[in-house]
């Protein structure tokens, strides 16, 4: 599998630390050379590649390069773990139902990159984590797994985000394990996970 990450790489680390999944992470790709995820991957002996958007004429050429890289490395499953770029149709089509994304809300609530802050701004009583298959819309694909997290009266962004990360680090490996083992069945927007 390939993991795409733009930042700290804590979800990548959760996958690397999982005894059954860590050895299957063959490639880590980032769009930012300073991403801490790159250091985490190198520390685990995983091949890393930085594909910076500034080196490409447009999004389509970036996506073409990404698909070529994934195909060259014989990648079967792609995991977006804090990857802050929208994948274009070429990538999504090539890896249909084989790209997982972890998102810090109970989708369809609070899509986008401000989910935790928006949950607080809206006075939400619940937020959570969603792992979903990626389709051609942002934070929209079929839901593989979700878990709710209460928003406490004294929560701020840091405290709520810390609890969100705890759930992400548990839920994402479970979903990745299911897709790697071929236990995910997709019927329209409905995803069923066969028992392992």
Count of residues in the chain: 196
CB 157 within 8 A of CB 68: no
Catalytic pick among 103, 132, 165, 169: 103
Burial of 165 (0-12, 13-18, 19+ CB in 10 A): middle
| CA–CA distance, 124 with 25 (Å, rounded to integer) | 36
Burial of 16 (0-12, 13-18, 19+ CB in 10 A): buried
| CA–CA distance, 42 with 171 (Å, rounded to integer) | 24
Identify whether 103 is a catalytic site residue: yes
List, by residue number, the catalytic residues.
103
């Amino acid at each position: 599998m390939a993991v795409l990450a733009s930042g700290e790489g804590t979800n990548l680390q959760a996958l690397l630390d999982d005894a059954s999944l860590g050895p299957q992470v063959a490639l880590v790709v980032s769009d930012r050379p300073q991403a801490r995820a790159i250091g985490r991957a190198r520390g685990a002996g995983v091949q890393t590649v930085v594909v910076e958007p500034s080196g490409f004429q447009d999004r389509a050429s970036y996506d073409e390069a990404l698909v070529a890289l994934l195909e060259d490395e014989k990648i079967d499953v792609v995991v977006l773990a804090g990857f802050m770029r929208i994948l274009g149709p070429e990538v999504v089509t090539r890896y249909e139902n084989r790209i997982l994304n972890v998102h810090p809300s109970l989708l369809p609530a609070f899509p986008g990159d401000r989910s935790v802050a928006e949950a607080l701004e809206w006075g939400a009583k619940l937020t959570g984590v969603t792992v979903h298959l990626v389709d051609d819309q942002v934070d929209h694909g079929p839901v593989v797994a979700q878990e709710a997290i209460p928003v406490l009266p004294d929560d701020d962004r840091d405290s709520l985000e810390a609890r969100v990360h705890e759930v992400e680090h548990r839920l994402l490996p479970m979903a990745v394990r299911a897709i790697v083992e071929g236990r995910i069945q997709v019927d329209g927007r409905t995803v069923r996970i066969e028992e392992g």
